[in-house]
Amino acid sequence: MSGIEILWNGWRNAYVRSNQPDDQNGSVFTRLLASGEPDSSTYVVHRSETCFAVLNIYPYSTGHLLVVPYREVAAIDELEQHEVIDLWAEVNSSVVALRASHNPEGFNIGINMGKPAGGSVAEHLHVHVVPRWTGDSNFMTAVAESRTIPEALDVTYDRVKHEWPTKGNGIG
């Protein structure tokens, strides 16, 4: 066998364990909201009427945001119409803020609904907004199933929050 066989990242253990379903405490997102921690500590970039945008603390690329309804539902068709509208307005605002803060060349935007679809927090719907640049993939992802992120989360948080649209959720 060639290349790296095992790359230990024990620092992820706390996240993996915290992400285990717990009927009494809810999803990792529900627990984050209930923590009482300031948004700057939890990387919540913006709060709207029915949802919030938060930096992914294990991002695919710099600026990787998650847009999450406050209400814990597993699927988009479980949301009320006003929640769907607010969710997609918040996704749009995420794109506006990331364009201004990081100037990506493109985006991956999507939902992994259910465990079979790759949902790591399947019990709480969330939309991934991932900024992308030509050539942003590197050998670490392909060879070691790891990512290298060139910017600290605190810096990304400040940049994105500063550029968040102040009117109309970035629409119109």
Q: Which residues are catalytic?
A: 126
Determine the length of the chain: 172
Contact between 89 and 48 under an 8 Å Cβ cutoff? The reply is yes
Tell me the C-alpha distance between 122 and 32, whole Å: 16
Eight-state DSSP code of residue 44? E
Tell me the C-alpha distance between 94 and 160, whole Å: 8
Q: Show Cβ contacts of residue 26 under 8 Å, excluding neighbours closer than 6 positions.
A: 34, 72, 123, 124
